[in-house]
């Protein structure tokens, strides 16, 4: 049953199929479920290459009340039941989406390869943006150099002054069409930028 005000847009993620089946049996039999059981369900990064992963629709998990989240945190069987419901919701396909538009089961190895390919595509797209910005900044610097008298220090391109160490993320700007548009992540200001010692 969907939570009041639940999203009608599916939100897919992958879980370990064998762990989900084990949790189904435990919940149905009223056996004890531990937090470690639920963590193993979602630990797809650590799954063996041959482990089968299956998609689930977690929209109802995302629309839970704060009280329901607290209850799931202290009662792993409740959290496990929400993943079982997510698998049922995926199987039901209430929107009637064509199978070609829905995620499919795959091994953990294939899932990792797709994740790497996806990240590589995002990085190459953003690398092109950075290169374009750097060339524009270098072009602006060259124009400024022409106006400066001999012996004056030349302008440093913006790209050369960028901080290279990683910074914590402050915000993520999501564009309207998240399926085709990249997500832009802006780092939070460093301590020196905030004026902290």
Output 40 or 121, whichever has higher pLDDT: 40
Q: Residue 132 and residue 55: Cα distance in Å, rounded? A: 38
- Spell out the residues 6+ positions from residue 19 whose beta carbon is closer than 8 angstroms to its own: 37, 40, 41
Matching residue, tokens 């199987």 = 91
Tell whether the model's pLDDT for residue 103 goes beyond 60: yes
Output 196 or 87, whichever has higher pLDDT: 87
Q: Provide the pLDDT confidence category of residue 183 given band limits of 50, 70 and 90.
A: very low
Q: Residue 39 and residue 16: Cα distance in Å, rounded? A: 10
What pLDDT shows up at residue 159?
38
What pLDDT shows up at residue 120?
74
Output 90 or 192, whichever has higher pLDDT: 90
Tell whether the model's pLDDT for residue 174 goes beyond 50: no
- CA quadruple 64, 66, 67, 70: dihedral positive or negative? positive
What pLDDT shows up at residue 7?
64
- pTM of the complete model: 0.58
Tell whether the model's pLDDT for residue 163 goes beyond 80: no
């Amino acid at each position: 049953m969907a939570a009041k005000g639940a999203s009608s847009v599916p939100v897919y993620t992958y879980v370990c199929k064998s762990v989900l089946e084990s949790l189904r049996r435990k919940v149905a039999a009223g056996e004890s479920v531990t937090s470690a059981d639920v963590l193993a369900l979602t630990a797809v990064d650590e799954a063996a290459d041959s482990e089968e992963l299956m998609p689930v629709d977690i929209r109802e998990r995302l629309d839970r009340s704060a009280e329901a989240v607290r209850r799931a945190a202290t009662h792993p069987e409740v959290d496990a039941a929400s993943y079982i419901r997510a698998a049922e919701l995926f199987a039901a396909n209430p929107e009637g989406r064509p199978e070609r538009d829905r995620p499919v089961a795959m091994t953990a190895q294939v899932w990792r390869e797709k994740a790497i390919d996806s990240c590589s595509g995002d990085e190459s797209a953003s690398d092109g943006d950075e290169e374009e910005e750097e060339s524009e900044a270098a072009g602006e610097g060259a124009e400024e150099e022409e106006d400066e008298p001999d012996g004056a220090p030349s302008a440093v391109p913006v790209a050369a002054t960028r901080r290279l160490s990683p910074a914590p993320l402050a915000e993520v700007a999501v564009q309207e069409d998240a399926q085709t548009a990249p997500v832009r992540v802006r780092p939070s200001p460093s301590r020196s930028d905030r004026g902290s010692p």
